[in-house]
Structure 1
Amino acid sequence: MSNQFLDLINKRRTIYAIGKNVEHTPEYLTDLIQNAIKQSPSSFNSQSSRAVILFNAEHEKFWGFVKEKLKSYATDEAAAAKTAAKMDSFAAGVGTVLFFEDQDVIQGLQDKFALYAENFPIWSEHSTAIAQFAVWSALHADGVGASLQHYNPVVDAEVHAEWNVPENWKLRAQIVFGSIEGEPAPKSYIDDAERFKVFK
C-alpha cells in the first residue's frame, strides 16, 4: 500500500536524543505548530485546544521547573540524578509545546447541549490528542525530532504563573522538540489479530 499520509506517520517516532541544531526559525516552527493545531478536528468544532509555545531560554525554564519539582519525588540520590539527567535531555532541545484544553469552552458546550454533557470532557481529550499527534507529525515531516511528555499537574501552578496562562486552560501534555541527535529504538507491534476485527 502506498499512501502519502501513512508513509509520514509510519516514519514518525519518539526521539529522545535532541539538540539545538534545528535549521528552522522559531517563526517558521510557530506557524507550523499553530497551523497543525488549527487544522485538527474537534467535537462540535469546539476548537478547545490551546497552546503555549516555548523556545530557547523559555523552553529551558520550563524543564527547569519540572526538574526542581521532581526532586521531592525522588526516593534516593541515584533516582534524583537519573530524573535530573532526563530533564536536562529535554532542555537540550530547542522548544516545547504546552497543550491545554479550555475548560470554559467545555462547560459552555455542557450547558448548551445538556444531553451530551458527560461526554464533552471525554471528547476534549480526543481533541487534544489529535492536536498533539498533528503537531508531532508536522514536526517530523520537517526533520525535527520530538517526544510527547506528561508532567502535568506537577508544574501546573508554575506554568500558569510564569506565562500568564488563563486559569480555565488545563494543561494536558507537552511536546519537546529539537534536532535529531540519535536514532530511535526499533518499534515493535502486537499481532493484528489482537487489535482488529474485520467483517465483510
Structure 2
Amino acid sequence: MVDTTYIDLMKKRRSIRKIGDQLTFGTHEIADLIEKAIKESPTAFNNQSTRAMILFGQSSDKVWEITADRLKSEVPNADAYAATKAKLNAFKAGFGTILFFTDRPTIAQNEKQFALYADNFADWAEQGLGGAQLSVWTALALNQIGASNQHYNPLIDDQVKQAFDVPNGWVLRSEMPFGSIEETAAAKDYIDDDSRFKIIAD
C-alpha cells in the first residue's frame, strides 16, 4: 500500500483567515522554517526565481495598514469597506506576514540564456512560486500555524516597495499572513473526480 503521510499533511494546509499572535515559536525559528521551505522548492532550470520578505511585528502590521489605506479608493461604499477593513484586521492580528515576489531579472537572464524556451520562463516562474507557497504553507500547517494566501497586488505594489525598500526587479505576487489558529477552516468541497482526472493505462 502506498504511503499517504504526505497527503494527510497536505490536508492540514487550509486557508485559516482568523489568526492570532499566540505562537510558542520565536521569530528566528519561524523565519528559518520559511527560508528552508522555499530553498527546497523546485524551480525551472533551478533558477531559484522566488524571493520572499518575512515580516513580524510592526512591519507585518504595516502591510495590512497599507492595504486598508489603498482599498479606501477602491471600495467607496462605507458598508463594503467596513467588511473589507474587518477582513484585513483579521490578517493584521496574526504573528507575521510573508511577501512573495518573483525576481524578474532572473527571468530575463533565463530568456536570454535559453532562447529556445524564452516564452515559457514567466509561466515557469509562476509554477515555481506556487511550489514555494505550498511548501511554506504546508510547513507552517505541520507546526500548527495557520495561514492563508492573499493577492492584493498589484494594488499595493508601489506602497510596499517604498515601505520595505524592495529590491529593483522583485515583483510582488502574494501576501501570506500567518499566526495561531483562532478558528478552523470549514470542510473543503471537491469537484467530481471524473471531471478532473483521466487515467490511461495501456
> Which TM bucket (shorter chain)?
over 0.9
Q: Which piece of structure 1 moves more, 175-184 or 2-11?
A: 2-11
TM-score (norm 2): 0.97
Secondary structure of the 1:149 match is: coil
User: Residue type of the partner of 1:29?
Assistant: I
Structure 1 residues 25-44: Cα deviation after superposition (integer angstroms, max 9, x where no partner): 00000000000000000000
Distance 1:84 1:71 in 2: 9
User: Residue type of the partner of 1:47?
Assistant: Q
What CA RMSD, in Å, does the superposition of the two structures yield over aligned residues? 0.9
Distance 2:75 2:175 in 1: 21
User: Residue type of the partner of 1:157?
Assistant: D
Name 1:92's counterpart in structure 2. 93
TM-score (norm 1): 0.98
Name 1:64's counterpart in structure 2. 65
Distance 2:19 2:66 in 1: 19
Report matched runs for 1:40-189 at 5 Å.
40-189=41-190
Measured after TM superposition, the shift of residue 160 of structure 1 is: 1.0
Runs of 4+ in structure 1 deviating by more than 2 angstroms, as ranges, are none
Distance 2:197 2:22 in 1: 41
Structure 1 residues 156-190: Cα deviation after superposition (integer angstroms, max 9, x where no partner): 11111111111200111111100000121111111
Measured after TM superposition, the shift of residue 2 of structure 1 is: 3.9
Secondary structure of the 2:82 match is: helix
Q: Using a 3 Å threshold, how does the CA distance of structure 1 residues 130 and 88 change in structure 2: closer, same or farther?
A: same
User: Residue type of the partner of 2:158?
Assistant: A
Structure 1 residues 103-161: Cα deviation after superposition (integer angstroms, max 9, x where no partner): 00000000011111110000000010100000000000001000010010111111111
User: Residue type of the partner of 1:188?
Assistant: D
Distance 2:184 2:128 in 1: 30
Report matched runs for 1:180-199 at 5 Å.
180-199=181-200
Query: Any stretches of 5+ residues in structure 2 without a counterpart?
Result: none
Query: Any stretches of 5+ residues in structure 1 without a counterpart?
Result: none
